[in-house]
Amino acid sequence: MDVISVIRTKRDRGELSPEQIDWVIDAYTRGEVADEQMSALAMAILLNGMNRTEIARWTAAMIASGERMNFDALSRPTADKHSTGGVGDKITLPLAPLVAACGAAVPQLSGRGLGHTGGTLDKLESIPGWRALLSNEEMLNVLDTTGAVICAAGDGLAPADKKLYALRDVTGTVEAIPLIASSIMSKKIAEGTGSLVLDVKVGTGAFMKTIEDARELASTMVALGTDSGVRTVALLTDMSTPLGLTAGNALEVRESVEVLAGGGPSDVVELTLALAREMLDAAGIKDADPAKALADGSAMDVWKRMIAAQGGDPDATLPVAREQHVVTASASGVLTRLDAYDVGIAAWRLGAGRARKEDPVQAGAGVELHAKPGETVTAGQPLMTLHTDTPEKFDYALQSLGSAYDIAPAGTEFTANPIVLDRIA
C-alpha cells in the first residue's frame, strides 16, 4: 500500500477497498502517513463522499486503532449523548448531571472546539482546577461515585480519531458527513455505552445546513450504532439561532449553572429536558422526571460532585475577559433573525476557538446576547456584548456581525422554529 494511490482513488471518485481503509488509518495512527497527506485524503472525502460500506469500514478501522471500554461492572445502565456541534451549545454541561440524578450513568466523552463551534472540554477547562484528561481507572471511579463524568477520550480510545479530529478542525474538512459519522461513532462504540442519543444540529450555525443532510448523517450514525449493539436514537435540532444567550467558554459555563439552579434561557432548558427524556428512555428508566430533578436541586448536587471529582472548584469565580465591546441595535422594531454562524465566527475570532490545532483558547472570550429573535428592540439598545482579552480582535469579530441580524418594523409577526425538528430511530 502507498498513501498516494489511496488519495488518488478517492480523488478520482473511486471506492476505497477495505484493505486501503485499514492500511491508511493504521499508517496515519503510527505516523507513516503525514498530516498533509491525510489532509488531502480528507478533502477528497469531503468533495466526493463515501458509500455506506466505506463508512462502516472506516469506523471499524478507527475503533480497531485502540482499546474498547466496558461498563458492565456498574450498577446503573449507561446512557451517553453527542452533539454534532453548534453555537452556544452548552447542553452537555447541565444534561450529564441531570440524567445521572435520574438514575443513569453518563460516561460523556467530549471534544474540543471544531471551527466555529464550541468544545465542551474547552468550556469546562475555564473552571479552575478542572481536568479533562483522566485515566480509564479515574473515569470509572468518577462515574461510579457521582453518576456522571465528562472527559476527553483517553489516548488508548480510537487514537486515529484523536489525530484526525484535530486535523479536520484546521483543514476545512469538518463538514464531511463520512468523517463526522465515523469520528463520533468510533469513540462512542469503543467507549462501551449501552445507549446513545445523538443531537444532530441543522441550520446556519451547524455543519449540516439542510434537513436532508442532517437526516443523512443521523441515519448513518443510528445504523452504525445499532449494528454495533448500541441502542441509538437521533434528534434533529435547530441551529439557525445560537442556543441560549452566550457563546464562549466561561460564559457558557455560567449559563449552564443557571440552568442547573432552576433558571437559564428557555431554549436551553427545553432542549436539555428533551434529550434527558430520550436518554432515560433509551437506558430503560421510565419513572424518572428530569424536570423535577432540575427544580429540586438534585442535578446541581451531581454537577458539584462531578466537577470536584475531576479537580475543579464548582464554587470558584469563573474567568472574565479584560475587554468588552457593545453592539447596539441599528433600528427599532422586531428582531427577526440572529445568525448562529455569524455569532460563532465572532466568538471564534475573539479567542474562544482555534485557528491552529495547537492554539490555546481564551476562557473569557465570546459573545453575550441581550436579545433573541421575536423580541422587540429599540435603536441604540445593546444587542450583544463582545468579550476578549485582546481588544485588537474586536474589528475582526465585528466584520462577521455586519449582516448577522435583521430588524423588521414594529408589529411584524414572528414565528420561531421548533427546537426539535425530527427524530430518527
Q: What is the CATH number of the domain that holds 334?
A: 3.90.1170.30
pLDDT at 116: 84
Hey, what's the cell of 350?
475573539
In the chain, the percentage of residues whose pLDDT exceeds 70 is 100
> Has 168 been annotated as catalytic?
yes
d(CA 338, CA 342): 8
Catalytic residue among 187, 215, 354, 393: 187
Residue 9 belongs to a domain with what CATH number? Answer: 1.20.970.10
Residue 298's SS3 state is: helix
Task: List strand residue ranges (DSSP E) for 329-419, in order.
Answer: 333-338, 366-369, 376-377, 382-388, 405-408
Q: Which of 10, 57, 81, 82 is catalytic?
A: 82
> What does the block give as the cell for 352?
474562544
| 161 counts as catalytic | yes
- The catalytic residue among 83, 110, 126, 183 is 183
Is residue 138 classed as helix, strand or coil in its secondary structure? helix
- Which of 19-23, 142-146, 225-229 shows the lowest per-residue confidence on average (mean pLDDT)? 225-229
Residue 355 pLDDT level (bands cut at 50, 70, 90) = confident
How far apart are the C-alpha atoms of 67 and 31, rounded to whole Å?
18
Out of 81, 112, 168, 305, the active site residue is 168
Residue 117: its pLDDT value, please?
86
The span from the CA of 204 to the CA of 246, in Å, is 17
- Regarding whether 329 and 293 lie in a shared domain, the answer is no
Residues 217 and 272 in one domain: yes
Query: How sure is the predictor about 357, in pLDDT bands with cuts at 50, 70 and 90?
Result: low
Q: How many domains, in total, are found in the chain?
A: 3
Are 233 and 290 in a shared domain? yes
Are residues 146 and 21 part of one domain?
no
Residue 183 designated active-site = yes
**pLDDT reading at 113 higher than 90:** no
Q: Do 345 and 261 belong to one domain?
A: no
Across all residues in the chain, what is the average pLDDT? 95
Domain shared by 340 and 400, yes or no: yes
Of the candidates 170, 161, 199, 210, the residue with the CA atom closest to the CA atom of residue 80: 199
Locus of grid cell 453527542: 82
Are residues 215 and 202 in contact, defined by beta-carbon separation less than 8 angstroms? no
Residue 195's DSSP bridge partners are 231
Contact present, 363 and 128 (Cβ < 8 Å): no
**Predicted pLDDT of residue 166:** 84
Residues 302 and 329 in one domain: no
User: Do residues 278 and 380 share a domain?
Assistant: no
What average pLDDT does range 249-254 have in this prediction?
98
Across the chain, which distance is largest between two alpha carbons, in Å? 66
CA-wise closest residue to 206 among 163, 235, 186, 230: 235
370 catalytically annotated: no
Contact residues for 355 (Cβ-Cβ < 8 A; gap 6+): 170
Cβ-contact 163, 28 below 8 angstroms: yes
Among 22, 161, 199, 339, the one annotated catalytic: 161
